[in-house]
Structure 1
Amino acid sequence: MNGHEDVVFVQDTDTGLRAIIAVHDTTLGPALGGCRVWPYEKPADALTDALRLSRGMTYKNSLAGLDLGGGKAVIIADPRKDKTPALMEAFGRHVERLSGTYITAEDVGVSPDDMETVARHTDHVRGTSATGLGDPSPYTALGVFEGIKASAKHVFGSSDLDGKTVSVQGLGHVGYDVARQLHAAGARLIVSDIHAPAVLKAIETFGATAVDPGEAHMVDADIFVPCALGAGLNARTVPHIQAKIVAGAANNQLETPADGIALRKRGILYAPDYAINAGGVISIALATPEGGDNLVRQKTFAIGDTLTTIFERAAKEETTPEQVADTMAEERLAKAKAA
C-alpha cells in the first residue's frame, strides 16, 4: 500500500460513521492531513482516495519544509445530507484513539465549524480557533495564486496576469478565492462547477464566462486551474487541453505518471499539485494560538520560489516538474531517516 504505516477502518453504528484514516509516513513528524467527506460509490474508492491523498501529504509536508508526516481521513457520506455534529464528534473520538499519530484538519466537504466539533473530542486537530488561524483555505488560495504567477513567468516571461484567459474548474472555498485574486490581477475568467450558485456568483462578481465542468480543460485559455477533485489530468483529458499552463489547487491531479509525461510532450507546464497547494497545510502547521500569520504568509509566498526552482531543475534535467518535486521531497525524507 505505497509504504503506508497504518490504515484504520472506522465504523460507528450510532451515528452511521464510516471512515478510513491512512497514515503514510511519520519520518518527519506526526501525520498531518485533512478529513474529506464524500459520497463514494464503493468503499474501495474511498480506500484508494485515502491512500493516494495520504501519500501526497507526506510529499507536500516534506517539500514545504514542515516537520510533519503525511496522513489523510475520508468519511463516506454526502456532506450536504449525511454530515451531522454527532458524526463529526464520533470521528473526533476515533482520531483521539490514534494518540497523536494522525492530526486532522479541514478538507473537501468539511467546514471550519466541523473541525471545531471534532476538537470537542481530540486535541489532534488543526485549523480551529484554538489552534490559531482557523480556516486554511485562504492560505491555500494565496499559495496557488503565487504559483500561477511563477508558472506564468516561466512560460510567458512575466508574472503579469493582466489580459490572460484563465479557466478555473471548481469554485469551492479555494477555487473561488483563486478566481477572485485572478480577477483582481486583470485575468479574464472562464469558470465551472457542479454547484450552480457558485457559478452564478462568479459570473455576477467577476464577469466570468461559464462552461460545463467537463469542458473546462478544453476551452481556449492561457492557463487551466483545476480546483475540483483529483485524477482530472488523464489519458482522456490531456490531449484536449488548450492551455500552456496547468496550475491549480486540486490534489492528485495526475491519474498516472504517464499523464505528466504527456503534458510535457505537449509543451504544457504542470505545477505539481502538492507544491502549489501547500499554503493551507503551512497555515495549520505553523499557526499559533496568538493568531499571527506573518510566518505563514512568508512561507506561503515562497511557494512561487519553490516552483521556480522545480521548473528550472526540470528543464535542466529534461524531466517533468512532478518528478523533480518528488525527488526534492524524497531527498529531505532520506536525510531525516539517515540522521
Structure 2
Amino acid sequence: MPRIPENLIEKIESIPVKPGIYQMMDIDGNIIYVGKSKTLKSRVKSYFCKEHKLNKIKRMVCNIHDINYIVTDTHLEAQILECALIKKLKPIYNKQFKNDKKYMYLKIENYNRFKPISMVYDRQSEYCFGPYRNKNILLDTIKFFQNIYPMTKFGNIYEFKYKILLQSMDRESFEKNKECLIEIFNNKECMLNFLSDLQGKMERAASELQFEMATIYRDMIKHIKYLYDNNTNESHEISDKILMGEKIDDGYKIFYISKNRIILKKRYKELTKESIGEFLKQAQELEIKVPHVIDEKRDLDFKKIVNKEVKDDALKAILFIHNDYSVDEFINNMC
C-alpha cells in the first residue's frame, strides 16, 4: 500500500473538505494528472491510503512529488474546470477529455452501391450527426445499417431484415433507405420507433432460439440508445433555458444555463424574488451576446457535464424557464 510522502503530509492535511480540482505534479513540476472531487481532502488522501489495482495509477502515485488544488463553490464548477485544464495541459495520466479532435460524425451518404452511412472527422453536410466520442460504436452502427439494407417504412414501423452478406444498392431502393435514415437520425420519435422495432426483432429471434441474431439486435439497441442520448442532449430536450441553484457554505450559487452552456453564474448571501429577477434579466441580455460555438467537438464535453448535472437534481433547485415559471417556487426549493 502506498504511503503519503513526508513532504506532502502537512499539505494534504491542510486541504479542505470542499469541492474543487487537484493537480498532481512530478519532481520537475510537470502536472501529470488533474482530477476533481466533491470533497477534495478525502479524494486526494485516497491515492495514498489504499492499494490500487491499475498499474497506471500505481505508477502515477509513485511519481507524485507535489500537489496543488483549487477550491470551487460547487461540484459543477469543479467538473468544468477539470475539463478545461485537461484540454489545455493534456497531463500524461489523464485520458478523458484530452482527445476531442478525434471525435467523429456519422454521415448519411448520397447514392453509392454499398455504403449508406460513413464516419467522418468534420461536419460535411446537413446530414452529418454528432460529434460522438465512441468510435467503436460508430463503426458497429455503420456495419449494421449496411447489413439491414434496404429499409422501408410503413406507418410508424420500419421494415428491415439483418443479412450476413451485403447487398448492392440500386438508386431507387437507396433513396428510400436514405429517407428512413434521415428520419431516424433527425427525429427523436422516429429513433424511438426504430428502437422499438429492434426490440421486437430481438425478442422474436430469442423466442425462435436464434441467439446469435438476438445478440446482434441487442448490441444494436445499446448503440442506438447511445446515439439517442447524444442527440437528445444536443437538441436540448430538458429545456433550452434553465435556472439552477444550490446551497454553498456562505449562501447560494445560481446558474443561468442555455442550450447546455453556462451563460451566467453568481453568488448570493440571500435570495429574493427581486435579486433573481435582476439575475435573469442580466443573463438574458448576456445570452444574446454569447458567440456561436466555434469548436463543437471541444464544446461537447462541457455540454455533457452541464446536462448531466442538471439531470442530477439532488441537493439542487432547477427551474425551467418557460411561460409559467415560478421564481417563488425556485427560492423555496433552495431554502
**Structure in which a larger fraction of residues adopt strand:** 2
| TM-score strictly above 0.5 | no
Larger Rg: 2
